[in-house]
Amino acid sequence: MPPDRAAIQAAALRIRDHVRHTPVLRLPGAALGLPVGELWLKLEHLQRSGSFKARGMFNRLLQWRETAPWPEAGALVASGGNAGIAVADAAAALGLRCEVFVPATAPAAKRERLQALGATVVAVGDSYAQALAACQQRQRASGALWMHAYDQPEVLAGAGTLASEIEADAGLPDRVLVAVGGGGLVGGMAAWFEGRVRVQALEPAGAPTLHAARAAGGAVDVDVGGLAADALGARRIGALAWALNRYIASADIVPDAVIHQAQRLLWQQLRLAVEPAAALPLGALLAGVIAPAPHERVALVLCGANFDPAGLATVA
């Protein structure tokens, strides 16, 4: 079952001493050349371990510990990067062993960070799906605590705390734009807002998991490529996010080139260094994929910063 608002409120209390309450930067749309009333940038790229994933992973571990001891084998996760980094960081903080299965395509910077956090890194195949299959096989053999990157109730509830912070700090926007990979973030936010805000999902062309599911009337596999092979590389929308689809107003696709344009603009104009996934919401506005009315307040979730910023160094 997907989480509800009560589960998200409980998660917020559970993780509050372990994660950061990230700020909301409010500025006029004109500051980025956009014809919208106000932009609310949720600066989640400043989160512990570099992405929103810290919320769900701490919530999963801490909620487990409330009812049972941790397995001697520790925790394991399959991840293209950010979820693995979040699990490794949380496990290290809580004194737990950690093993992370990644696709061979995972960026070297993310793999190095995993190792620096003390995790055992296992590279398998060239997709998240292959890493996930190997992770599940290891879990059955070892009895380790399985941490899903995006499709466990505790993980969605943790992600939903991000939405509760936006409401607490700034009120309700007219709409909130959220990047989607497997759906943990958009599902958690949809569970919190429950239709009170227009939640809009944005996906790269190389992994349109929610867009494809909505077209097909149910979760389906998609081919993964392009920018999505980095962080947004799930082949299928998570079952829990799909169960919350009624609270998601739309699922739109943003071209890779525009995502990179948005990433550069955030650096050029605001000196915010974010990974491509975090630039998806702004990319949707730049491309006209999402066209709010001039008076609207639009919240953009800058969901992570685990990337190599070297390419931004030459941008004026």
Model pLDDT for residues 21-60, shown as the tens digit of each residue = 999 999 999 999 999 999 999 999 999 999 999 999 999 9
Range of the domain at 214: 5-51+153-312
Percentage of the chain exceeding pLDDT 90:
80
Please give the average per-residue pLDDT across 292-304, as a whole number.
Answer: 97
Residues 177 and 254 in one domain: yes
Q: Is the pLDDT of residue 286 over 70?
A: yes
Q: Is the pLDDT of residue 315 over 50?
A: no
Q: Which of 132, 147, 162 is the last residue of a domain?
A: 147
Residue 233 has what pLDDT? 63
CATH at 273: 3.40.50.1100
Kindly report, residue by residue over 116-155, the tens digit of the pLDDT.
999 999 999 887 778 889 999 999 999 999 999 999 999 9
Query: In degrees rounded to 5, what are phi and psi of residue 273?
Result: -95, 105
Residues 164 and 255 in one domain: yes
Rounded to 10 deg, the angle between the 184-193 and 153-170 helix axes is 50
How many residues does this entry show for the chain? 316
Tokens (6 digits) for 270: 């605001």
121 CB neighbour count, 10 Å cutoff: 19
Residue 264 has what pLDDT? 95
Kindly report, residue by residue over 156-187, the tens digit of the pLDDT.
999 999 999 999 999 999 999 999 999 999 99
- What total of structural domains would you count in the chain? 2
Residue 223 has what pLDDT? 77
Kindly report, residue by residue over 196-225, the tens digit of the pLDDT.
999 999 999 888 999 999 999 998 888 776
Q: Which of 147, 175, 190 is the last residue of a domain?
A: 147
Q: Is the pLDDT of residue 309 over 90?
A: no
Amino acid type, 143: G
Residue 43 has what pLDDT? 98
122 CB neighbour count, 10 Å cutoff: 15
Residues 42 and 28 in one domain: yes
CB 44 within 8 A of CB 304: yes
Q: Taking the complete model, does pTM exceed 0.85, yes or no?
A: yes
